[in-house]
C-alpha cells in the first residue's frame, strides 16, 4: 500500500471511530462525569478529551507519537495564533457592540462549551486531523481533502434550524466557515492556533452580544462577520506577499498533487 493511500485509510478509520464514539456516548458520558464534576462545561471538555483519543492515535500512526503536535499543527506560534485572529475579529466585536445589546444570560459553562470546546476540538479534529492529514500527507488536493470534513461540520450545526430557509442558511454558513478555517490553516504554515482562535473569537463575539440563536444570524450580524472574513483573507494574502511565500492552496494543489 502506498504512503498516500495508507494515510487516507488511517485518517478515515480514526475519524470514523471518533465519530462513532462521539455520537454514541458523548451525552451519556457528560452526564456521568457531571455527577462528579460540578460544572457542565468542564464535563464537556473532559468528554471531548476522551472521545478524541482515536484522533491522537491516528496522528501517531501517521507520523509517530513524538511528532503528534507537529502533525496536527499545534507546535506553531501561539502568539501569532492569538494576535492575528484577534485583529481580524475587531469588526465583529465593535459592530456587535454598536448594533446589539449585551447578553446578560451568558454563563461560564456556555463559554466553555460553545467557546473553548467548540473552537479547540472542532479545529483539532476537523481541520488539524481530518483535513490536515489528507491535504498535507497524501496526493489529495484542497477540495477533495476538505469536502467530507466541511459537510460533516456543517451537518453538525443543523440542530440550530427549525425551518428550511434557516437550515439552508446554517448549513451554507458553517460549510463556508469550514473551508475558510482549512484555508487559513494551510496558508499560515499549518498553524492550527490560527483557526482555533479565529473560531473562538468569532463565537465569543456571537455569545457576548445577543446576536442570534443560530449560526446563520441576520443582516447586521453577517455584515460584520463578512468584514472579519474579508480581513482574514486579505491580511493573509498580504502577509504571504510581504514574506514572498507561495500559496499552499494553488492551481497545482486544488484537486490533486503530483507528489506528497
Residue 5 has pLDDT above 60, yes or no: yes
Residue 71 within a domain: no
Residue 6 within a domain: no
pLDDT digit string (tens) for 36-65? 999 999 999 999 999 999 999 999 999 987
Which residues span the domain enclosing 136?
76-242
pLDDT digit string (tens) for 60-88? 999 987 899 999 999 999 999 999 999 99
Q: What burial class does residue 258 get, using C-beta atoms within 10 Å of its C-beta: 0-12 exposed, 13-18 middle, 19+ buried?
A: exposed
pLDDT digit string (tens) for 194-206? 999 999 999 999 9
Q: How confident is the model at residue 258 (pLDDT cuts 50, 70, 90)?
A: confident
pLDDT digit string (tens) for 199-257? 999 999 999 999 998 999 999 999 999 999 999 999 999 999 999 999 999 999 999 99
DSSP strand E in the chain: where?
Answer: none
Give the Cα separation of 145 and 132 in Å (integer). 8
Residue 259 has pLDDT above 70, yes or no: no
Tell me, what's the pLDDT at 148? Answer: 95
Q: What is the mean pLDDT of the chain?
A: 96
Residue 111 within a domain: yes
Give the Cα separation of 153 and 252 in Å (integer). 26
Tell me, what's the pLDDT at 219? Answer: 95
Beta bridge partners of 256: 140
Tell me, what's the pLDDT at 41? Answer: 98
Residue 89 within a domain: yes
**Tally of domains in the chain:** 1
Residue 260 has pLDDT above 60, yes or no: no
Residue 208 within a domain: yes
Residue 220 within a domain: yes
Residue 83 within a domain: yes
Residue 171 has pLDDT above 90, yes or no: yes
Tell me, what's the pLDDT at 237? Answer: 98
Tell me, what's the pLDDT at 187? Answer: 98
CA-wise closest residue to 28 among 61, 2, 50: 50
Tell me, what's the pLDDT at 201? Answer: 98
Residue 14 within a domain: no
Compute the average pLDDT of residues 151-167. Answer: 92
Which DSSP category does 100 fall into? S
Give the Cα separation of 145 and 136 in Å (integer). 9
Query: Is this model's pTM higher than 0.95 or not?
Result: yes
| Cell numbers standing for residue 140 | 489529495
Compute the average pLDDT of residues 95-112. Answer: 97
Amino acid at each position: 500500500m502506498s504512503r498516500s493511500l495508507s494515510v487516507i485509510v488511517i485518517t478515515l478509520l480514526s475519524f470514523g471511530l471518533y465519530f462513532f464514539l462521539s455520537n454514541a456516548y458523548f451525552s451519556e458520558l457528560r452526564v456521568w462525569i457531571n455527577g462528579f464534576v460540578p460544572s457542565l462545561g468542564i464535563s464537556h471538555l473532559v468528554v471531548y478529551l476522551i472521545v478524541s483519543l482515536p484522533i491522537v492515535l491516528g496522528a501517531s500512526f501517521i507520523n509517530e507519537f513524538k511528532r503528534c503536535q507537529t502533525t496536527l499543527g499545534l507546535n506553531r506560534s501561539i502568539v501569532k495564533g492569538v494576535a492575528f485572529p484577534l485583529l481580524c475579529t475587531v469588526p465583529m466585536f465593535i459592530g456587535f457592540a454598536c448594533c446589539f445589546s449585551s447578553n446578560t444570560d451568558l454563563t461560564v459553562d456556555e463559554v466553555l462549551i460553545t467557546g473553548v470546546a467548540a473552537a479547540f476540538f472542532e479545529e483539532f479534529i476537523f481541520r488539524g486531523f481530518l483535513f490536515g492529514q489528507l491535504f498535507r500527507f497524501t496526493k489529495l488536493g484542497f477540495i477533495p481533502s476538505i469536502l467530507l470534513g466541511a459537510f460533516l461540520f456543517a451537518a453538525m450545526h443543523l440542530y440550530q434550524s427549525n425551518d428550511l430557509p434557516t437550515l439552508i442558511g446554517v448549513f451554507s454558513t458553517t460549510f463556508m466557515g469550514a473551508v475558510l478555517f482549512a484555508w487559513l490553516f494551510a496558508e499560515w504554515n499549518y498553524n492550527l492556533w490560527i483557526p482555533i482562535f479565529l473560531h473562538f473569537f468569532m463565537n465569543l463575539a456571537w455569545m457576548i452580544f445577543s446576536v442570534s440563536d443560530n449560526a446563520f444570524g441576520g443582516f447586521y450580524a453577517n455584515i460584520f462577520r463578512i468584514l472579519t472574513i474579508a480581513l482574514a483573507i486579505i491580511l493573509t494574502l498580504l502577509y504571504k506577499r510581504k514574506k514572498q511565500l507561495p500559496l499552499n492552496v494553488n492551481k497545482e494543489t486544488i484537486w490533486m498533487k503530483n507528489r506528497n
